Structure 1
């Protein structure tokens, strides 16, 4: 069996519509596996996100940063 990965949309009636036509032999049966991304729960409020961004911006503008090389070193030693 040959596998193809394509993107598609499921409409209100539950019908699958491919983003692009398949370039394969026509009139053949296929097996379809649908992978649906799980919805992430968003518990963070917009105000919290904005506060975090302001803090990060302040730290970046005042030089309170860590070099990327140091971050990589720490990750490699874990």
Structure 2
């Protein structure tokens, strides 16, 4: 048996919704699904500063487009406002 790990969630109608499609072969036979739900303590440990993958991808796309069009921040200004102790 092969294991495939894909992040997802259970929606308000109690349907399993995958965050991304399963890559590779189509499985026409029945599969087993094991849902791992974080304990309450684990759920509280989620960093509120973590961004969703799509937000990060969008940010990287914007940065790449800005770099291609010459909209760059000079290196001398990059550390302004950052407290690096």
TM-score by length of 1: 0.47
TM-score by length of 2: 0.43
